[in-house]
Amino acid sequence: MLKRTITGLIIAGIWVLFFVLKATFSNVIIISTAVSKHPVDLGTLIFDFLLLIMGSLGANEILRVFEKKIIRPHRVLTVLYPIILFPIMSLFGVEWAVVITILAMLVVLAVSVPYYEDVTIEGIGLTFLSMVYPSGLLVCLVAVNHLAPFSALVLAFAVSPAADVMAYFVGSLFKGKKLCPNISPNKTISGAIGGLLGGIIAAILVCLVLHPASEHIFKHYWQEILAYGVVGFLGSLLTELGDLVESLMKRKLDIKDMGRLLPGHGGVMDRIDGLLFASPLVAFLFCAVLPMLAV
């Protein structure tokens, strides 16, 4: 427990550092509209670098567990995917994610032809999965980083850990009926409810703390708080779903953790599984839906 807590604090410290760097250098414009559709500041690029590291480390962990089922050229392409994807999105626009992803999938299929003796349909499918999970889902956080208010980015990173921590403590305290015993025997319904409350509380705190210095989506303060609370609730649901999905994968693969980089937590994928599932929601709401509802 102590090792897990120390590692968790270090991870949180790294995230906070990158948030501080983003806020500090947000006024340093280094890419003009002549190159990109939107001006890009140094702080945004620094945070993109964090997402690139997360995507690359996560991809390597996924490839490690699928290694024997994916041919070497496909493993190389999977590693190159985030390394190419994130810088192009940073420099030329988030919309490039679609182009790069489709091209990557086409290259995977094309490379399969000369390796027809070794490649399998299962291997091709696992290659696509290794690209989407995590790098493809992290694209949503790149979108939030570039297009949404600063508070939305903080929200994405605050809800999932808060839901995880609250679920652990509430579940340990009240125990009770299991949530999905065949997938994750230690998770309880009481813990799941605690996780939802934790996500809502974290989201509202983000709104209260950052509201004065953030872009306002709604005219009235209570509308902002309500919107953040709803996102916190839905984000917590998706966080718990992401945790269950990864537990399902590990059970099917007969492994305890996706990696060993983070003592007490396993690997990067074991730490960000909930974040990966919550990030599309934050991107969808703050980059598309809420701006249209702004009054």
Query: Where do the domains of the chain lie?
Result: 1-147, 149-295
Q: Which residue has the higher pLDDT, 223 or 98?
A: 98
Span 144-178, pLDDT tens digits: 999 888 989 999 999 999 999 999 899 888 888 88
Query: What pLDDT was estimated at residue 140?
Result: 94
Please tell me whether residue 78 adopts helix, strand or coil conformation: helix
Q: Calculate the alpha carbon distances from 40 to 37, 93, 206, 236, 281 in Å.
A: 9, 9, 24, 30, 23
- Within the chain, what is the greatest distance between any pair of CA atoms? 63
Reading the block at residue 263, the tokens are 């003592």
Q: What Å distances lie between residue 247 and 18, 122, 136, 228, 244, CA to CA?
A: 29, 20, 20, 28, 5
Instruction: Give me the chain's average pLDDT, please.
Output: 88
Say which amino acid occupies 134. P
- CA dist., res. 10 & res. 225, Å (int): 29
Are 188 and 251 a contacting pair, CB within 8 Å?
A: no
Q: Is the pLDDT at 33 greater than 60, yes or no?
A: no
> Residues 169, 172, 177, 178: is their CA dihedral positive or negative?
positive
Highest mean pLDDT among 24-33, 40-49, 260-269: 40-49
Confidence band for 68, pLDDT divided at 50, 70 and 90: confident
Can you give the pTM of this predicted structure?
0.90
For CA atoms 65, 67, 70, 75, the dihedral sign is positive
Residues in the chain: 295
